Structure 1
Amino acid sequence: MLFRKGILNVLTWVMLLAIVQPLAIASADPAADNVGASAESVTNLVYGKVPVLHVESGDTTVRNGEQAKLKFLTDDLYGTGDWGKEGSTRYASFLRNIGRSLVFDLGQPSTLNEVRLRALGDASAGIYLPDYVNVAVSNDGGSTWHFVGKVAKSEAVQADSKQYWYALTGLNVKASMIKLSFEVDVFIFLDEVRALGLKEVAGDAAVPTGGDVSPYTPNEEFRYPAPGSSQVGGVRHEYLLYGGWHTNATVYLPRTYDDLLPVVAYIDRSGEIKDWFYDTILFMNYPTSSKNRWYISSSAVTSAVYASNKADWQEYADLLFQPNVQIAALDKAVGDVKKKLNQPDYKYKVYISIPKALPQQTDFGTVNGKALNFDHRQVGDDAALANRVAAVKWYIDTIMQKWNEARFGNLSLEGFYWYDEAVHNYASNREEELVKQATAYVHAQGKKIHWIPFYQAAGFFRWKELGFDYAYMQPNYAFYTSPQTRPTDAANLAKRFGLGVEMEVHHNIFKDPALRKKYYDYLDQGVTAGYMNQSALAWYWATDTFQLAYKSTVDNDRKVYEDTYYFVKGTYPNKYTPPVNTDGGSDSGSDNGGSTSPTSPTSPTSPTGPGGGGAPAEPDRDRQVVSKEQLADVRDGTVSLKLAEGVREAVLSAADMKSIENGGLELVFGDATVEMPSGVLKQLVELAGADKDESIAIAARPLSGDKAKAVEPLEENGLAVKRAGDLFELTVKIGDEPVRPGTFREPVTVELPYRKGTVNENWLGVYRYDESAKTWRYVGGEVQAEKGVVRVKLDHFSTYGVFETDKTFVDVGPSHWAYDGIKTLAAKHVVQGVTDDAFEPGRSVTRAEFAGLVVRALGLPASRSAGSAFSDVAESDWYAAVVAAANEAKLIEGRSAGTFAPNETISREEMASLMIRAFALSGGKSASAPTTVRYADEADISEWARESVYAAAEAGLMSGTGNGAFAAKAPASRAEAVQAIANLLKAIR
């Protein structure tokens, strides 16, 4: 990422040469290159014909000039690839835009035997080669295309030449039109195209009937990766943090606590921590090591001398885990912010980059007793690939081991990042195979891996096929001469193929008004293109640009930090105002619409809508303006307000809300209720700006008609889901503008009604509609049968509804003794089947599985610090989070000193002990051993478990197995475990 400007310089030079310094002509003789016609009857069917160009997608800047050059593809004149020599421009150049199709009309039915395409490549100059070319033919004027073959490039025409042939031979098919399709990796030069065959249909020519294929795999759902979703591991905003040796290995720059604190937390101008800022940090090494050897692809890597080796990789791994800097500094910063914001369970997400095993390296070092050589010319393709994979696995193992040993209390290692910004598929280097094996290995460790290709880089739309969990698209707008719409163009392209977007900031933003304006283009277009709220985002700030914005005493520069915070929270206004000239940090430029109020010296400018401040004078019929007097009904510190019949939106001034922000606010909208705690009231007041007396509107509107039908559920994971009440759209507005303040600082409690008498109340739950995925997500809920509502705690507003979930298993019928418990916990998403259809009720349960059931049933927050408690629970284990959560809640104990035995079956007496602890944790009345219950096999119950076994019986959590026995040492079955938890939920609620 730090080498983007270098790529820009090379590409700019190449583009100018493509126009001003054309290639020298090498030969006009088809036989001179040894791939000409093989018989006198065979001719070049496309000689002199100009193809029709189809551009797949993207910018139009270069597109207009490309068609004019296509006449040089069929003139039988070749270039040498000597970019600086004078001569006629006899090649066609293609810049980005994913790919091209060239359609040749042969003018008559013909016999196509061979297709040959000549390309010019020079990776050191930013000129790449298509990985392959698809060939299709048509015999009905282009209405129907038939795929006839796919061909990769051959070796160069001559040693060390920049000329390559693609040849598809042995076709012998009928064709009236030919289509060549290929991807465009940044910049591609095509020199000549030949289609060899007969200008008639031979008697033995095949008539193709198959369909066409496309090299492109667009995302049919046309959406970004949703922020906070499971796909991205909960990531919303990921900050790219560089550290290590910098400036050609002359500067050593580890990142400190002071660097990281303003990244983790939003800090106002008085120095007070107010909120979380970025939720994820990606640790990245600079491109070179202390020995000035490269971690990434670069034209500077001309031999193994310049390629990083094992010592360089170890150097960066060691730097990451040094005390007091890098990850350790982040852990301390997050701990301090957690304490300040009173969020002790918060875990901050971390990703770590994987250096590239550069194919030029001949002596990487020894791994597992084997010296690794990556050069396929010396060891062969298979050995080179295997050695590169071994190096990557070693590095991943090294990072995982160091992470587990460090035992950071406030952080969660979510996974890894593939450092290289393009994935080429040249046969010799086999980059795609390397990536696929690397991503598979990361997944085997229980981690995620993602990628950030540069704009339209090779392989970007195949990110999922390569094994990445998610990817971001670099617009490269901050560093390139590009159209002003580039952020939106890149976002739409990313959305088409399911990528997120990278936000980019030039390091000279505070010196150059044009660069500052570019950054605000990213923000403004993030609102209009939707990626502000709809996409997980990565953030590139170079080395210290973000920290400079935070520390700046120049109002306009500090405002960059503040506007970024509003964008991260999803409330940024769609406007940019050029700053007023001030000493030390002046800007000037044209207005892009709108203006913002002056910034106070102690707090950031709050975004406001165009409607101005204060409550509206004439509210709509379903809106109620709340007066200060109506806020006087305080019960136990909470203002309770029952709104008039039919009112679905309550409007308060920011000043009035500020007057009650130390308590809570309960709004009763007919049969739905919204309870906002103090932390959320303060959050809304800050967003509105109390000094401006802006209005704050909170609404709970039932959906009806077409809007409700548009979000009706179908099937979810094999569950029969049906609506049990109205769907509610919960919203907040500041002024007249809807805002999404992101995650609430504290959960907001909501009660939603359901239709009593028509549903099984044990199967009810609240679901949220995921707009980006077009599906419903279970969020929990507790049935309040006496009120006919389901009560749930929410961390943000969206569209919600109460649903009845009926899950059927073929091996659990109504006659099964645990039928109701299994159905109930399946509806609550506490338990799943072994398969979609089977539950296997008699199968035993492991200690880790049962811990997971209890944690999910009680809604305990997951943790990632299990390694600090049990030596046999690794952070990479699937159950690490739930075991840690259960341990932190003091629900579980080890079987021996420091071990948990997660994969051993849990006995019935162990389950009883855990159930009593869960009962007490949830407020259940403490029970002592009763005298009314006795088991015939009491002697088999361990002394340490006896009180819990009888207490569980007294509380109705567990019972015997029949014939008066308890079977204490017997392994608990899945049915027994689920029924015990169902009994627990019934007892505590």
Structure 2
Amino acid sequence: MINIRGFRLNKLLAAVVGLCIIAGLLAAAPPPGAGAAEPVALTVTGDGVEKTVQFTLADLQALPQKTYTYSGYNHWPSLQIFKDMKGPTLKTLLDAAGLKENATMIRCKLSADVYSEFTKAQLLDEPRYYFPDGEDEDNLGKWPPTRSERGKVRVETMLALNESNGKIIYGQCALNEPTCCKNQMLGGLCEGGTIEVTTEPLAQWEAPAADIPSGAVASGKKVTLQHRDGTPYHAIVYYTLDGSEPTYGSNIFNISYPTFQPELNRPIPISGNMVIKTKTIGMGKLDSEVVTYQYNTGSTPQAGAVEEKTADKAEDVNKPESAAEAGDKAAAAAKPEHARYFTDLEGHWAKDDIYSLADKGIIDGVTATEFQPEEKITRAQFAKLLVTALNIEAEQDAALAFADVPAGAWYRDYVAAAVRAGLIMGYTDSAFAPEENITREQMAVILARALQMKAPEAASGDAGQVMDKFADKGEISPWAGREIALAVSRGLVSGLSADTFGPQITATRAEAAAMILRLYKQVQ
């Protein structure tokens, strides 16, 4: 007799076991079209983060995304625009690995031999921008750039996933900053690259050296600023001529690689007494110390002398001029260029006067590309401008009674020279007020004294008649009337209008430039 119940139970158990085996096989089998696991696109590691993190491309795309446009210059130089870059910010990537507070260095590496170095501050802390003004075709290869900071946009450093298979890209601290040189913006990081973050002590760039040491030089000499041995050319040499500290936005000496457009790396002509302050700024190291060179002129180069540069010095030598050199000079003469170009002078009433002084090395811009003609000018700044224009010797560390003109101040020697010449007085016996804005009255008096120093026969005629035309003559200080009359009668200073002098109004940089040029022309 067949046990129907037992047979059915055994059959059911066999079916259940079979289904379990099939389900296990299906779970172990890869889905249709599936292959190996997605490769690692980028690794963040180093002792500057809490842990090593590996990202696939899908991981990177899943992170919060930002979109920015970036501007920058390469070392041709030409303007580079990276439009609508999209990807995670560098801060997002590093925070995922636990960025440490004591992190100092960031290396973006394609291999052990191909990498770019940055300090943490350069990529994460310094304010960087996109400068959209002046992106037209005419400006792409123009230097100095005819652009402005109008419309600038703050941007973050990012890993752009839509550029060069993952490109580290960052903004500019100033609109003339070269950021696209020597593959600093490294591409290909999403092809197995590494971002290494460390806590190592940071090295410091060597300061630039001038090929002419400080001291007395012949007027017309030209100074070349050069890297110390071992400094790569993509480290930027910044300099100023107005006594201010060089930084991003200051004049750049080595804007073009020597094999590209070396004529853009112009030597600096020495005219009058001059102070050059310079330092090196570059990625991956701390800025160099600021080095100051002071020059005093007292002679004029021989006519026809040609400047010859060697590795160590510049000399004036008389030598025959080749046909090629003559052709180069003729071409340069035919090209109407200024030593500097300021984007904020177009259409300004003092444009020609300012360029005339700038080309002589007497005045400089506030930045490499902006003169800021309507900004006020301080008493210290005007003293420097006056001493430079009149070629008055500025002795280093000269004695000075003013307690508010400290030793080591950039303007001390200029103030001392102007005081010693009897051109500028203090507010009191012990106070000069160097940082106060100079008034039109003060400036006119100083210019009149300078004119009389250079041309003792200068006279104003009837001072009362000269001043009667100004309805605000009552606002002129009693001690200033005679010298203002001289300055007005000799054309050094004009009124704000036909009947208004504005003696107590503070002067602008443009007004100072125009008046200094008028004086310069009369005493030459």
Judging by fraction of residues, say which structure has more strand: 1
- TM above 0.5, one fold? no
The answer to which structure, 1 or 2, has the higher relative contact order (CA under 8 A, 6+ apart) is: 2
TM-score by length of 1: 0.24
| Alignment TM-score, normalising by the size of structure 2 | 0.42
